[in-house]
Amino acid sequence: MSRPFRFGVNLLTPAPAAEWRAKCRRAEELGYDVILVPDHLGMVAPFPALVAAAEATERPRLGTFVLNAGFWNPTLLAREVATTDALTGGRLELGLGTGYVRAEHETAGLPYGSPRERVDHLRRTVAELDRLLGSAELPRSRPGSTGGTPTPRPAQSRVPLLIGANGDRMLRLTAEHADIAAFPGARPGSVPGSLEPLTAEELDERVARYQDLAAGRAEEAELNLLIQLVAVTDDPEPVLKPLLERQPQLTLDDALALPIVLAGPLEDVVARVRAQRERFGFSYLTVLEPYMEAFAPVLERLRAESA
């Protein structure tokens, strides 16, 4: 039996307090299950943005999509996670990834490392978070002291962990530790910091590889896909023109068939979402902020069908 759908929106654009709260409330009004924030320089700082989102809303879960592990010291990250989960009333979902934009690391004065080094750091981060957040308390400000102020604890007994993965080592880590396996539906492109979309057949292979690695799990993970473009329209060609210019190897039909693209009449898009759940197992879809309103009719129709 297929999992019920969940829908998230990744809010990318910084905004003053009133505007930020207003768009979080709008996401809740539209029926989104999760309000998410990225971890890129020039965008919002993840944890304060999520606390503000919690103050403006009541129902949605709140998540990072995804933290760049290379930006974070695991012990300090554990403190951020515990505090944010406590301040949001146990609504946090922690998303982690290796990061893929070298220029951001250089701007921050942080090492970028090889792909292997970045995966190794993420693995250490996951292990340390498990140790710290699963222990009686986080380290106190005075090592060795038994006194002092109690340290923050998460409201949840386990903060759900999402890992964004595509390569084999990342898929193994995801299979071993993640409650939510997030597939970006793209790979790093030839231009630094760019992404190249995966075809449906390539994504089939990646999902199958994950399922092989996760075969021994006691409980199946939720599978997530990041949708990069949404357009409910009878004429998708003009909407897809920028994508085709960035990806000249694609034809219009190729672009329409990409799993990360949902473009066409409403009934066709709704059918695509259902078909992708059946084919790949994606029951949790994330859309980007520019498409929050465009995806809303699709979300509403799928909700009505499952009611």
Per-residue pLDDT tens digits for 88-105: 999 999 999 999 999 999
Which two tokens mark 96? 């982690």
What is the pLDDT, as a whole number, of residue 180? 98
Q: Cβ neighbours of residue 306 under 8 Å, at least 6 residues apart?
A: 4, 5
What is the pLDDT, as a whole number, of residue 135? 64
Closest of 44, 42, 90 to residue 64, by C-alpha: 44
Q: What is the CATH number of domain 6-142+151-228+276-289?
A: 3.20.20.30
User: Would you say 112 and 164 are in contact if contact means Cβ atoms under 8 Å apart?
Assistant: no
What is the pLDDT, as a whole number, of residue 208? 98
CA–CA separation, 78 and 76 (whole Å): 5
Res. 138 pLDDT band, cuts 50 70 90: low
Q: Where are the domains positioned within the chain? A: 6-142+151-228+276-289
Pick 138 or 179 by higher pLDDT: 179
What is the pLDDT, as a whole number, of residue 209? 98
Q: Within 13 A of 41's CA, how many CA atoms are on the CB side?
A: 15
**What are the helix and strand counts (H, E) for the chain?**
11, 13
CA–CA separation, 229 and 241 (whole Å): 12
Distances (CA, A) of 181 to 20, 162, 173, 281: 28, 6, 10, 11
**How many other C-beta atoms lie within 10 A of the C-beta of residue 246?**
14
Percent of the chain with pLDDT over 70: 93
Mean pLDDT of the chain: 94
- Cα-flanking dihedrals φ and ψ of residue 287, to 5°? -115, 155
**Is the model's pLDDT at 249 over the cut of 90?**
yes
Helix boundaries (H) for the chain: 17-30, 46-56, 74-87, 102-108, 115-133, 168-177, 200-213, 237-246, 252-257, 266-280, 292-306
Q: What is the DSSP letter of 151?
A: P
CA–CA separation, 17 and 31 (whole Å): 22
**How many other C-beta atoms lie within 10 A of the C-beta of residue 87?**
18
